[in-house]
Structure 1
Amino acid sequence: MTKLLLSIHVLAAIIAIGPVTVAASMFPAVTRRASASSASSGDRHSASVPQSLHRICRVYAVVGVVVPVFGFATANSLHVLGDPWLIVSIVLTLIAAVILAALVLPGQSAALAALDKGSDTSATTRRLAMYTGAFNLLWAVVTVLMIVRPGSTTGA
């Protein structure tokens, strides 16, 4: 059962977190280009790619909830719920979720609204790039902790 839970947890992380990471990373640059394109040519269709990236982030953020659910089930099955590496991973995952929900997704919505109005998006996209970088860095650290499991006695 543990192997099944771990497999689902890893697959869910790849399938759910991967697209959010990529789409969120692409969003600031694509939005800056769309803003420049609409400002110079009046092209209102240039917002379609940032809108799609935002939709990917929103949908996969919701799907991503299964990752910690199966993570807890796996950790319980392995009897590692109290291990420091797991506790740090849980805290970092919570921080990443807060950054996504409170900063990245609303920032993307604000950038799309500014893009629709023809306003400058550069300040918003700079902040978004920073928030997205922090989000991605947190996931990278969590991934390393899940692989290395410092101090773990479950073998690795």
Structure 2
Amino acid sequence: MTAFLLSVHVLAAILAIGPVAVAASMYAPAVRAAAESPDDARKAATVAVLHRITRVYSVIAIFVPVFGLATGARLGVLGDTWLIVSMILTAIAAAVLIGLILPGQRRLLIDLQDTATGRRLGMQTGIFNLLWAIVVVLMIYRPGSTTGAGL
């Protein structure tokens, strides 16, 4: 059962958070391109599609911490420092996504010329991606890791 939970956790991370990270990273540059060519409907459509990808996959990404907690409980590591730090960073990443990135994308859908929001959004997306990168490293290079690559 542990292998199944871990497999779903990892697959959910790859298939849900990966698209969020990529679509969110592409959003600000797509907005700039659409703002530079206001008559190009394709560029505006790209912005809308990237927002939809970010929004929809953000909902699907809830499976990542759910199955992560189930896996951690099954392994008996819920009290381990590396996992607690990972959970805190995951919560911060979720807060950045829900509280900053998605609202910023919505604002830019309405006003492609809002350069201040576009710059902030790029920074916020970078923070989101950095948080997830740290979580991935903690998941792989954790103390007591079976990979033999413990910190």
| Structure 2 length-normalised TM | 0.94
Deviations along 1:55-74, one digit per CA (max 9) or x if unpaired, are 00000000000000000000
CA distance in 1, matches of 2:69, 2:18: 20
2:120 is matched with: 127
Contact map agreement 2:30 2:43 (CA 8 A) in 1: no
2:102 is aligned with 1:105? yes
CA distance in 2, matches of 1:110, 1:85: 36
Residue 137 of structure 2 aligns with an amino acid whose one-letter code is V
1:33 is matched with: 33
CA distance in 1, matches of 2:87, 2:79: 11
Contact map agreement 1:32 1:121 (CA 8 A) in 2: no
> Unpaired runs of 5+ in structure 2?
none
Shift of 1:122: 1.7
Shift of 1:123: 1.3
> Unpaired runs of 5+ in structure 1?
none
Identical positions, percent: 57
Contact map agreement 2:89 2:135 (CA 8 A) in 1: yes
Contact map agreement 1:58 1:105 (CA 8 A) in 2: yes
Aligned positions, number:
147
Deviates more, 1:44-53 or 1:62-71: 44-53
Contact map agreement 1:35 1:121 (CA 8 A) in 2: no
CA distance in 2, matches of 1:125, 1:110: 9
Contact map agreement 1:12 1:64 (CA 8 A) in 2: yes
Equivalent position to 2:137, from 132, 136, 144: 144
- Alignment RMSD: 1.0
Deviations along 1:25-47, one digit per CA (max 9) or x if unpaired, are 00000100101111xxx334531
2:58 is aligned with 1:65? no
| Structure 1 length-normalised TM | 0.91
- 1:87-102 superposed matches below 5 A: 87-102=84-99
Contact map agreement 1:25 1:129 (CA 8 A) in 2: yes
Deviations along 1:107-132, one digit per CA (max 9) or x if unpaired, are 000011003xxxx2321110000000
CA distance in 2, matches of 1:113, 1:56: 17
